[in-house]
Amino acid sequence: MSDRLMGVETEYAIGGMQGEEAADHPTIIRHLLDLAHTSLPNLQDGSSSGLFLQNGARLYLDCGMHMEFSTPEVSNPWDAVRYVEAGHDTMLSLIQRVAQDRIPETQIGCYRVNVDYSGTGSTWGCHESYLHRMPPADLPRDLIPHLVTRQIYAGAGGFEPFSSGLKFTLSPRAAHIDRTTSFDSTNARGIFHSKNEPLCSGYNRLHVICGESLCSHLAMFVKFGATSLVLAMAEAGLAPGSAVELDSPLSALRIVSGDLTLKRPLKMKGQIHRMTALDIQRRYLTMAEDHSRDTFMPLWAPDVCREWRRILNALDSGLDAAAKMLDWPMKLLLFASHAARREMDWSRLPLWNAIIERMHRAMELPRNGEIFPLERAISPGSPIPELARRIEAFLLRKGLDWDELRLILKLRAEFFEIDTRFGQLGPRGIFAMLDQDGILEHHVSGVDNIEHATRNPPGRSRARIRGAVVSRLAGYEEGRWVCYWDRIFSQKYGRMLDLSDPFAMSEVWSNIPKEEAS
């Protein structure tokens, strides 16, 4: 059976309050990095803000002052979920200690979120990496239909961040994807990321940037596992995407992210008939099941296929079962319940959002997600008086009025706070509270020993060696040893550990050539 490696990078949103005032973000980050450096066994990665840890992972400050945790290379989706959770535990421990020891009387929150609702246009990434040996240029046809449609189980749920209304979406991150393919990952983001940075020898690396941070273990498990199997089938020459090519992937991404029914048909390339996102995912799954025990597939393929089918069946039968299993159905039920408590008719949101968007366009307002200026739009000095009168007449015929829209706009901030707090790390997070109460059914058998994973590397990749060496050398003549994904070396001692083989299982040290050591 084929071995496969994968990894996950999670960016965290961090914020704090000192009394009624916002705590200084750079100060929090500075203390967090200093605490990580002094309290966690580590080797620096050559930068001033990056550390490799004893479990083989990397913790560092990314662009935009985002803290990021990259899991070690893992060989199965159980470990992928396990080490994502280990990253959460590591971050939470650091945050709690910063609040207690470094900045007293400060409340600091750490969040696995995907978009910023304040109007900054920021998005936090959750990137995936998959090792493969296929020519990268041949991958888009097979992977893009999968990446577009896996939102139905891998979407985090939330609100369209650039809407001035309150528009629920399966994937808030999708609003930040504006290309079919791209080389960049911070601007002009693509469904398929064409950058190939293997960080090893003899392999290529699929880097997925259109995904999201999730809370559900089951959603993560199937996201990592299914994408690995699609890649394995493509690598084996089965062309899994050939029968499901989308006519316009970017348009399909928008349709799927906004389709709560999962029934909207997508236009297929060169075909008269159309397929839903569920149809496309079932096509991929059926092929994976047919080949699950082939030699090019990993041993865990049947396990992933079983959970993949269970999720699709649950989604196909309605959202009641999925609301205990997957992030976006959980949030949809949570938001609808909150709307009922606030006497807001959740079912009429699509109508109100359409009205807001129509008036928004007529007023030529920027697409930044700010609250729609309703009072200005319907006042005697309205810049769109004729449209406002027509809409008001329509509302009267339907027994509606502007007060309902005022309520929706007033409650936007509450819904955004709920979405943000859903992914908060620690016991105050809404997801954590629901999980603690036994309401959810998202756990996957075999995803366990999280605390052990914070201190120990996985066993079937070079991460095992990296973690062991980090543990051994941490604190030994600080700064003399530098760690990267593919090597550890010391200029002082002229020694280097070669980790260019991602499946390396033994330490291979060598002398650094004198010309390089100097």
- At 115 the three-state DSSP class reads strand
Question: Tokens 């980090």 belong to which residue?
Answer: 470
Is the CB of residue 178 less than 8 Å from the CB of residue 121?
no
Question: Tokens 């999730």 belong to which residue?
Answer: 214
Separation of alpha carbons 150 and 253, rounded Å? 10
Catalytic residue (choose from 62, 89, 316, 501): 62
State yes or no: is 62 an active-site residue. Answer: yes
Query: Based on the number of CB atoms within 10 Å of its own CB, is 514 exposed (0-12), middle (13-18) or buried (19 or more)?
Result: exposed
Express the helix, strand and coil content of the chain in percent, nearest 5 each: 45, 15, 40
The packing angle between helices 277-290 and 140-149, to 10°, is 120
Q: Per this entry, what is the length of the chain?
A: 518
Single-letter code of the amino acid located at 100: Q
Work out the end-to-end distance of the chain between its first and last CA atoms, rounded to an integer number of angstroms. Answer: 45
Sign, Cα dihedral of 341, 345, 350, 356: negative
Q: Which residues contact 509 (CB under 8 A, 6 or more apart)?
A: 495, 496, 497, 498
Separation of alpha carbons 279 and 429, rounded Å? 34
Is the CB of residue 482 less than 8 Å from the CB of residue 489?
yes
Separation of alpha carbons 234 and 231, rounded Å? 5
Question: Tokens 């079937």 belong to which residue?
Answer: 460
Containing 288, the helix (H) or strand (E) segment is helix 277-290
Catalytic residues: 62
